[in-house]
Amino acid sequence: MGNDFLEDYRATLRRILDTPKRWRKIRGDNRKLNFHRFPYAIVYSMQTDALYIKAVMHLHRRPFYWLH
């Protein structure tokens, strides 16, 4: 199960890196892309020369708990 989660994380991260501007904005300049298999999403933002991962967010917990 742990290896499956890690592979889903890596696949989601690859999709973000391939087309970072494609995924929808959720708050400010933060964007989100859901995992395929698990109830998680990667929340990230972009700068000119870098991509910052803000959180690996559980989708069934209170929204935006990762902000603080």
The pLDDT of residue 64 is above 80: no
Task: Indicate the pTM of the whole model.
Answer: 0.87
pLDDT of the residue at 9: 97
The pLDDT of residue 24 is above 80: yes
pLDDT of the residue at 45: 96
The pLDDT of residue 65 is above 80: no
Beta-strand (E) ranges in the chain? Answer: 25-27, 30-34, 40-46, 51-58
